[in-house]
Amino acid sequence: FLSLAADDPDFMGREIAEQPETVERILSELAPRVSTGDLWRELGLPHFRRVAVLGCGTSLNAGRIIAHAFGAFGAIVNTAVTASEAGAVVLDAETLVIAASQSGETADVLRALDELQTGRGRVLALTNSMHSTLARRADGVLNCSAGPEIGVAATKTFVAQVVTGVCLALSAMVARGTILRAQADAIVDDLRRTPDRLENAIAVSRQWVPDIVESVRDAQGFLFLGRGAGVVYAAEGALKLKELTYRWAEHYPAGELKHGPLALVEEGTPVVVIESADGRLSANVAEVRSRGGRVISIGGPGSSIPVVDGHPEAFARSGRVSQGRGGNTFAACGPLESVVPMQILARELAIALGRDVDKPRNLAKSVTVE
């Protein structure tokens, strides 16, 4: 893949541009071991009935997608746990704990492992650092293989964690006989289209985001809405915007809009909407528009004629594959490529506002204090 931003002066721009090739590399390494179940078996972890994924910040958002994948692929009871709140969580002995941490050094994550009463041998580290404290302390380690990430705000490591974790979930479900190998193959085939989707999302976003930035430059607050897995991506989009621009950003399941956040919408309020394939956000979008809100849509009904901010454009096609259960369908990672325009929006608005996109104020790449 040709990096569209090899000459970006900041690390964040280059790391966003590296996402397609990062996923390509991860899949070429993992895909052959997914539908055989070997990716899971090679970790040597015991049988489990439930899954809890824990992490902080962007890794927690990746963890939410991964937890969701265990539910979608195998109806596994799952939860995502904010690491700093893990002390209040009760787990049974048959719960697989996946600790997701890019650095593997985050104090809240390491402390959570002390606090959780897990069954023996049930902690899997999902990390970008195989030599980290977390990797040493876990019973199994899965490398998310994103390569070094310098920008404080996580981008390519998020995408790497999601894809690696979803491959893990799929492999585990094959190994336990919950999903057939042929079904897993179909999902892996769909995953293999992810690099193209990300590349497309980068190209479209670079075209449209500058205009959007001009129109939201003076906005003090942003809303991000989604449904289903889109809610998690809305959370990640809002997090990037806060980190990079120092502007307020909230995310909500779109259905919650009318239960409170709609009161925030006034003339010009930017509302980023991650459209779902079933078109169920149209009523929410209409409510925002009728109050003068500035709707920035990502994806579109059916995701076949996706839209960015009113511009019809081939973008963010959400690959949907048959789950083989009651005819339901789901996208393995949810609308993963929707994160790209939100990363680029956050970065470009931050640059327009004169922020340091690689080193946002008050934040650190790795937080080793509680």
Burial 146-184 (b: 16+ CB within 10 A, else e): beebebbbbbbbbbbbbbbbbbbbbbbbbbeeebeeebb
Q: Choose between 75 and 364: whose C-beta lies nearer to ligand G6P.
A: 364
What element of type H or E holds 201?
helix 194-216
Closest contact distance (angstroms) between CB of 357 and ligand G6P is: 13
Q: Choose between 63 and 226: whose C-beta lies nearer to ligand G6P.
A: 63
C-alpha distance from residue 16 to each of 5, 39, 145 (Å): 8, 27, 15
Closest contact distance (angstroms) between CB of 110 and ligand G6P is: 9
Closest contact distance (angstroms) between CB of 298 and ligand G6P is: 21
Q: Are the C-beta atoms of 116 and 86 separated by less than 8 Å?
A: yes
Q: Choose between 113 and 152: whose C-beta lies nearer to ligand G6P.
A: 152
Q: Choose between 16 and 277: whose C-beta lies nearer to ligand G6P.
A: 16
Residues that bind ligand G6P (CB under 6 A): 56-59, 101-103, 106, 109, 152-154, 363-367
Closest contact distance (angstroms) between CB of 71 and ligand G6P is: 22
Q: What angle do CA 370, 245, 23 make, to 5 degrees?
A: 75
Q: Which residue minimizes CB distance to ligand G6P?
A: 57
Question: How many Å is the maximal CA-CA distance in the chain?
Answer: 56
Q: Choose between 58 and 269: whose C-beta lies nearer to ligand G6P.
A: 58
Residue for token digits 């070997």?
A: 38
Q: Choose between 12 and 174: whose C-beta lies nearer to ligand G6P.
A: 12
Alpha-carbon span 120 to 95, nearest angstrom: 10
Q: Are the C-beta atoms of 170 and 187 separated by less than 8 Å?
A: yes
Q: Choose between 14 and 197: whose C-beta lies nearer to ligand G6P.
A: 14
Closest contact distance (angstroms) between CB of 59 and ligand G6P is: 4
Closest contact distance (angstroms) between CB of 106 and ligand G6P is: 3
Closest contact distance (angstroms) between CB of 169 and ligand G6P is: 19
Q: Are the C-beta atoms of 294 and 345 separated by less than 8 Å?
A: no
C-alpha distance from residue 277 to each of 51, 83, 145, 228, 242 (Å): 27, 32, 30, 11, 27
Closest contact distance (angstroms) between CB of 101 and ligand G6P is: 3
Pairing of strands 50-55, 77-82: parallel
Using alpha carbons, select from 95, 92, 93 the residue that is nearest to residue 78: 95
- Amino acid 247 reads R
Q: Choose between 243 and 348: whose C-beta lies nearer to ligand G6P.
A: 243
